[in-house]
Amino acid sequence: MIDECLVAEFRIEGDDCPLARATEDAAVTVDAAAPQLRTDGNVLLRFSAPLDDRLATTLDRDERIRYLHVTGGDDTCTYRCLSKHPCVVHELVDEGFLVESMQYSGGGATMRGAVVGYDVLRGVMEKAGQTVGITLQRVYPLRADEDEPIGRAWDLTPAQEESLRVALELGYFAIPRERTANEVAAELGISKSAFLERLRRAQQSLFQTIFGESI
């Protein structure tokens, strides 16, 4: 039995993916589930983003996107569609990369997942080296108490999970507070209001999970 399971995070740049292009044109951040490749080569996509008509308009104009369905919320929308564009992530999946989450922003994508053993990691890295614009951001062992991603266990989006983690690392939650919201937002590369909104939503999800939906 292989004991070593590793968490890996990759950044994709330069891929002509419809979601990546849309985040560049509409200037939004998209949190996506792992894309599902059909036997006919088309890809099923499910993702969410802040309420913004520009994203739906941009995707509607992309001839590679079909059957776009949007479910609106107070300030977040969930999208489902079929894409005729093959995702480069499937090349890594074929080598053993288990995708947990993907986030598109600024014309690129960050994907986080797991590999079982260093031999599989080497194979994934070799494939990444042959693929346009993929770089390894970080890799670390998966702890025994991390059977599922933090975001999935606590119903957090990848953006919310990242905001909480960075805020904690920088001392935003320390007493007295070591960093301001502006400083954490700058580290994340987003506005102060966007950081505080992510923080508010993450805290709401955590509290609802702990205390129940009745709060």
Go through the domains of the chain in sequence order and give each one's CATH number.
5-141 (no CATH), 150-211 (1.10.10)
Q: What's the rounded Cα separation, in Å, for the pair 90 and 44?
A: 12
Q: Are 156 and 26 a contacting pair, CB within 8 Å?
A: no
Phi, then psi, of 100 in degrees rounded to 5: -105, -40
Instruction: Encode pLDDT of 17-44 as tens digits.
Output: 899 888 888 888 888 888 888 888 889 9
* Mean pLDDT in residue range 136-162: 65
Enter the DSSP assignment of 73.
-
State CA 115 to chain mean position distance.
Answer: 17
Q: Are 172 and 161 a contacting pair, CB within 8 Å?
A: no
CA end-to-end distance (rounded Å), the chain: 44
Q: Are 150 and 196 a contacting pair, CB within 8 Å?
A: no
Query: Does the pLDDT of residue 149 top 60, yes or no?
Result: no
Q: List the beta bridge partners of residue 77.
A: 49, 72
Token pair for residue 13?
A: 């740049």
Q: Are 53 and 94 a contacting pair, CB within 8 Å?
A: no
* Mean pLDDT in residue range 170-178: 87
Q: 23-59 as b/e, with b when 16 or more CB fall inside 10 Å? A: bebbebbbbbebbebeeeebbebebbbbeeeebbebb
**15/63: higher pLDDT:** 63
144 pLDDT band, cuts 50/70/90, is low
Q: Is the pTM above the cut of 0.75?
A: no
